[in-house]
Structure 1
Amino acid sequence: MSAKDCGHHDDDDRKAFHRRLWAALVSFIILILFLILLIWLILRPTKPHFILQDATVYAFNLTSPATLTTTLQVTLSTRNPNERIGIYYDRVDVYASYHNQQVTLPTLLPSTYQGHKEITVWSPFLYGDSVSVAPYLVDSLNQDQFTGTVLINIRVDGRIRWKVGTFISGKYHLNVNCPAYINFGKKNNGISMGSAVRYQLIMDCLVDV
């Protein structure tokens, strides 16, 4: 066998070795991903359960023909229903809307980790100073206040991650909608707190992840 033949044979052996090494690496990665997927499917993470417990209304009134001033403090509780999965709340904003129009600035909640079956409670203030609203919303608000009940939606917009053992998932979008029926015309349904009125609500929220 010539030296040229030996060199060619060595090159073939190296290429075959590299192919086997690459195939083994790809197989290992696929196996790891399959195991993660299998564990994920077995555990089946359940989205958190949100409840709007109460709302304290300091201001919710038209400050000019087409602007709305809103000051609220709400109490939100969220429960992690999972027995083996933790939840990271990386960024969570809360704001109020009326007829799908945002009427307060978003309030950023502190980032937190929620363990198995744990409950977390937040009590943010929501502010909206002279927010411009569409004319049809002015008519709707006047009508609602005349009848005595106004529906305000407390919305949560955030990013969460799931934790299974040492594995932490990528970020998922959290969208929460909490309806709050406020009886402005019947203050006996609330607790007077000086110029503010606190309403006990205990409303389940719609949660989408």
Structure 2
Amino acid sequence: MADAKQANLSGAYYGPPIPPQNTYRSVGRSSGCNPCACLFCTLFKLIFSIVVILGIIVLVVWLVIRPYGLKAHAESAALTQFALSSSNTLDFNLTVDIAVRNRNKRIGIYYDYIESQAFYDGDRFGFELLPPFYQGHKTTSDIKPVFQGTQLMLGNSVSTTYNTEKGKGFYNVDVKVYTKLRLKIWIFKIHHVNPTIKCTLSLPVPSNTSSTSTVTLGTDCDVDY
């Protein structure tokens, strides 16, 4: 009897099939991506795409507009008085005509602020504010500062430079024009570009105190942004 039971226990099982054991996954571990890492990756891709698109737009606009910088040259100057006293006081009367060219086909320029200064031997002796104006596409405008008055010169070498240049027949004067510009592109106005125009002039010494020494220059001026 015991042998029969042992045979039944060690024999094959012929009953109904046993269902497989179910396996469960934790809901929080269903994805291999950390939520913070996924969010950062998505934001990075979005920002990168925006930067690329903006870069393409800027490149296309630049290729269409093709912006050019200003060109300037001093056309003429009239020096009526330029006399330095023994006390380093300079009496002066100088007019300069500077032509400024807007070379752009699609960009207009608003000259909102124009400040002109005149220098001799590194010392400023003249100052004038000029009225604002608008410059259209592919046009040339004249800036005509007039420097007149008396100024005490503080440089140690002004007297030596003045006497040397007077003997040579020419005074070397620097004229600078400080500007604040707005660019008009179609209907858009861009704030603010601040170029400085610098012209180095070689002016003939007037023959006497009552005469005006007028000279046609055609001197190119530097434009620094």
Question: TM-score range, shorter-chain basis?
Answer: 0.7 to 0.9
Percent of matched pairs sharing the same residue = 28
Q: CA deviation at 1:122?
A: 2.7
Contact 2:121–2:155 under 8 Å retained in 1: no
Work out whether 1:51 is the aligned partner of 2:73: yes
Cα RMSD for the two superposed structures: 2.9
Contact 2:204–2:213 under 8 Å retained in 1: no
Q: CA deviation at 1:35?
A: 3.4
Q: CA deviation at 1:42?
A: 4.6
| Correspondence 1:22-33 to 2 at 5 A | none
Q: CA deviation at 1:31?
A: 6.2
TM-score scaled by length of structure 1: 0.75
Alpha-carbon distance in structure 2 between the residues aligned to 1:84 and 1:171: 17
Q: Which residue is equivalent to 2:190? A: 169
Q: CA deviation at 1:193?
A: 11
Q: Which residue is equivalent to 1:90? A: 112
Cα separation, partners in 2 of 1:50 and 1:70, compared to 1, 3 Å: same
Aligned with residue 156 of structure 2, among 135, 158, 163: 135
SS in structure 1 at match of 2:167: helix
Cα separation, partners in 2 of 1:87 and 1:142, compared to 1, 3 Å: same
Cα separation, partners in 2 of 1:87 and 1:193, compared to 1, 3 Å: farther
Alpha-carbon distance in structure 2 between the residues aligned to 1:96 and 1:109: 14
Alpha-carbon distance in structure 2 between the residues aligned to 1:57 and 1:85: 35
Work out whether 1:149 is the aligned partner of 2:149: no
Larger radius of gyration: 2
Cα separation, partners in 2 of 1:193 and 1:177, compared to 1, 3 Å: same
Alpha-carbon distance in structure 2 between the residues aligned to 1:35 and 1:51: 35
Contact 1:65–1:138 under 8 Å retained in 2: no
Residue segments in structure 1 that go unaligned for 5+ positions in a row:
1-23
Alpha-carbon distance in structure 1 between the residues aligned to 2:129 and 2:190: 22
Q: Which residue is equivalent to 2:41? A: none
Cα separation, partners in 2 of 1:128 and 1:80, compared to 1, 3 Å: same
| Correspondence 1:50-199 to 2 at 5 A | 50-105=72-127, 107-184=128-205, 195-199=211-215
Residue segments in structure 2 that go unaligned for 5+ positions in a row:
1-45
Q: Following TM superposition, where does structure 1 have runs of at least 4 consecutive aligned residues deviating by more than 3 angstroms?
A: 27-38
Contact 1:52–1:203 under 8 Å retained in 2: yes
Alpha-carbon distance in structure 2 between the residues aligned to 1:114 and 1:33: 29
